Amino acid sequence: MKAAQITRFGAPDVLHIADIDRPTPGVGEVLVSVEASSVNGHDIVVRSGGLKMVSGRRFPIGVGLDFAGTIAATGAGVGGYQVGDRVWGTVHPRQRHATGAAAEYVLVPADRVAPAPAGMSSVDAASLVVAGTTALIALRDSVRLTRDERVLVRGAAGGVGTAAVQLAHALGGHVTALARDAHAETVAALGADDVLDYRTTTSDQIGPFDVILDTVGTDLHCYRSRLARNGRMVTVGLSAGALAAIAASSVHGARRIRAFSANPDAALLRDLAGYVTSGAVRPVVDSVWPLADIATAHQAFERGGVVGKQVITVSG
């Protein structure tokens, strides 16, 4: 089978497509025939060597976190799935994988998949897995957004940002989005009440907010200062600078900057599917690339200025 891998850390050109053996599911595992995957920030960090403490230096290393496809085989002890069932899911983000989700087949524990939303294409489904579950954890579980609260979404045109705008609107928040002016119409159509150009809007010009969801990872202390008295802030844009800001903010108690490592299970995927089925959340796909062009997809992701997700088609 074909799988995207790296044999050294570096720029997108270190990605290559390898021919490897198709894995066989063990106890409690399912083998998924992947139809689509997507590019996430985690993939960029792994590829460039930013997660060496997790991935190690033993190559090859597979790339790709999320996938949509069909069950190809099940291991002993797996119930509820049959060959041909359409599913979506993720590989574990904190483990080294010789084969990631950007491959013709991916082997995962059965509790990391769930039925994909009925009637949704694999391209659309793959675009939502990590973005949607990350936004759901951030808004519903981390900061516990409630109706009528004022929400700021930084990086609102990105993968997580577009999902967060929709979920914040669905949860009843009054949503202010920071994005490029060129993307204002698209972001407003997703449910943002106000869309401001991040290039001309400074943190001291806006707020206060009850909730801030940051996907950028810069100037966190400036935006934290725009929280209302009982405000909460969470970031998914982790970097060395962001980690320092998170640590320094601990003195502010409930108004600290929160962070988490998204690790969606089947229950969270089912919750997200409910929002999709109800029409509250829809996919936003910027570009679709074949597996052979995954390096170009990584380049597009890193270049920025896009709306939604870079999706990789594999089969189907």
Any idea what the CATH number is for the domain that residue 139 is in?
A: 3.40.50.720
When pLDDT is averaged across residues 161-177 and rounded to a whole number, the result is 98
- For residues 134 and 254, membership in a common domain is answered with yes
Does residue 303 register a pLDDT over 70?
A: yes
Tell me what the mean pLDDT of segment 2-8 comes to. Answer: 95
Lowest mean pLDDT among 91-105, 111-125, 211-225, 268-282: 91-105
**Is the pLDDT at 146 greater than 80, yes or no?**
yes
Q: Provide the pLDDT for residue 56.
A: 63
Regarding whether 135 and 117 lie in a shared domain, the answer is: no
User: 287: domain range?
Assistant: 2-127+265-313
- Structure confidence at residue 165 as a pLDDT band (50, 70, 90): very high
Tell me: do 143 and 221 sit in the same domain: yes
Q: What is the pLDDT of residues 246-263, one digit of tens each?
A: 888 888 888 888 887 778
**Per-residue confidence (pLDDT) for residue 105, from 0 to 100:** 97
On the question of pLDDT at 316 being above 60, the answer is no
Which of 232, 6, 175, 199 minimizes the C-alpha distance to 97? 6
Confidence at residue 249, expressed as pLDDT on a 0 to 100 scale:
84
Q: What backbone torsions phi and psi does residue 169 show, to the nearest 5 degrees? A: -65, -45
The answer, yes or no, to whether residue 197 has pLDDT greater than 90, is: yes
56 and 158 co-located in one domain:
no
CB atoms within 10 A of CB 219: 15
Q: Are 206 and 196 in contact (CB under 8 A)?
A: yes
Mean pLDDT across the chain: 93
- Same domain as 278, residue 188: no
| 78 and 190, same domain (yes or no) | no
Q: Of the residues 241, 259, 277, which one is the last residue of a structural domain?
A: 259
In a shared domain, residues 121 and 269? yes
C-beta of residue 81 within 8 angstroms of C-beta of residue 42: no
pLDDT of residue 54: 60
Residues 31 and 138 in one domain: no
Final residue of a domain: which of 216, 238, 259? 259
On whether both 50 and 122 belong to a single domain, the answer is yes
Tokens of 243: 């980690």
Following CA atoms 75, 33, 4, 6 in sequence, which dihedral angle do they give, to the nearest 10 degrees?
-10
Range of lowest pLDDT (93-97, 148-152, 181-185, 227-231): 93-97
Q: CA dihedral in degrees (143, 149, 153, 157; nearest 10)?
A: 120
pLDDT of residue 256: 87
- Looking at 238, 259, 280, which one is the last position of a domain? 259
CB-count burial class (<10 Å; 0-12, 13-18, 19+) for 221: middle
Number of structural domains in the chain: 2
3-state SS of 237-255 is: CCCHHHHHHHHHHHHHHHH
Q: Name which residue leads in pLDDT, 245 or 296.
A: 296
User: Cα–Cα distance between 74 and 83 in angstroms, integer?
Assistant: 8
pLDDT recorded at residue 94: 73
Q: What is the CATH number of the domain that holds 277?
A: 3.90.180.10
Of the chain, the percentage scoring pLDDT greater than 70 comes to: 97
* Claim to verify: residue 208 and residue 240 sit in the same structural domain: yes
In this prediction, residue 55 has a pLDDT band, given cuts at 50, 70 and 90, of low
Is residue 175 located within the same domain as residue 195?
yes
Mean pLDDT of 108-122: 96
243 lies in the same domain as 140:
yes
